[in-house]
Amino acid sequence: MLVVDDLLLDPAALVGHAKRSDFAPAYGPDGGYPGLRAPAPLDYVETVVRSLTATIGEAFDLGPVRPVRAECNFSLVTLPPAALAPAQREPHVDTADRWQFAVLHYLCDAGHGGTSFFRHRATGYETLRTDRLESYAAARAAEPVDAGYVDDGGRWFDRIGTVDAERNRMVVYRSCLLHSGRIPHPERLSDDPDTGRLTANIFLTLRPAA
């Protein structure tokens, strides 16, 4: 993965934009993001993508690449552990497309945990490609889902890495990597961008430049 500290000269300005945004629930009865989301400003997305595309290509040994799609939202985790649907209580992937990357910008402090990455014990999978989805689903169907937010991996996963939240830190990883937000202090969750677990999340799809 790629970690960039002190990404913006003025992260407070981006938090200010979030405070003026209209957040809405991003989850339903079957799961989804366990909190609220709002659109992020287009100039922020364009600046990050333009600045980091070549670095991502180098860091992940992709060769020359070009962006073909970018979606970005502000996100606030707000659901208490007892309110989580089963799909929100286990590691997940965003897509099986190995060319999509999650670009996660922490706009909160270190007390809000971070992001952890996992290996599924029964299959040995750390990433889910298209050809692994069926066998992974079959293996998980026999494994009851643990309670609460994912921490150390529980009975079915090994935690293989963690990036700690740090205000103005950005982490980039493949969206097909099994991961979950780490929420060590759920009592601190809030819908207030100033004090809650605020992040800006870009789903960036790349393709070879040639």
Residue pLDDT, tens place only, 60-78: 999 999 999 999 999 999 9
Q: Which two tokens stand for residue 188?
A: 């601190």
- Let me know the angle formed at the C-alpha of 11 by 10 and 17, rounded to the nearest 5 degrees: 110
CA distance to 5, 72, 134, 141, 150, per residue, from 87 (Å): 31, 22, 16, 12, 11
pLDDT for the residue numbered 186: 96
Q: Can you tell me the mean pLDDT for 77-95?
A: 97
pLDDT for the residue numbered 65: 97
Q: Which two tokens stand for residue 178?
A: 């099994």
Read off the pTM. Answer: 0.95
210 pLDDT exceeds 90? no
How many Cβ atoms sit within 10 Å of the Cβ of residue 83?
10
Tokens 């970005």: give the residue.
72
Q: Can you tell me the mean pLDDT for 107-132?
A: 97
Q: Can you tell me the mean pLDDT for 122-137?
A: 97
For 11, counting Cβ atoms within 10 Å of its Cβ (0-12 exposed, 13-18 middle, 19+ buried), the class is: middle
pLDDT for the residue numbered 164: 97
Which SS3 state, helix, strand or coil, does residue 57 take? helix
pLDDT for the residue numbered 202: 98
163 pLDDT exceeds 80? yes
- Mean pLDDT, the chain, whole residue set: 96
Residue pLDDT, tens place only, 8-39: 999 999 999 999 999 999 999 989 999 999 99
Residue pLDDT, tens place only, 168-204: 999 999 999 999 999 999 999 999 999 999 999 999 9
Cα torsion 124, 127, 129, 134: sign = positive
Domains of the chain and CATH, by start: 2-208 (2.60.120.620)
136 pLDDT exceeds 90? yes
Rounding to the nearest 10 degrees, give the CA dihedral for residues 96, 97, 100, 106.
0
Rg (C-alpha) for the chain, rounded Å, is: 17
Q: Can you tell me the mean pLDDT for 94-101?
A: 97
How many Å apart are CA 206 and CA 209, to the nearest integer? 9
What percent of the chain has a predicted confidence (pLDDT) above 70?
Answer: 100
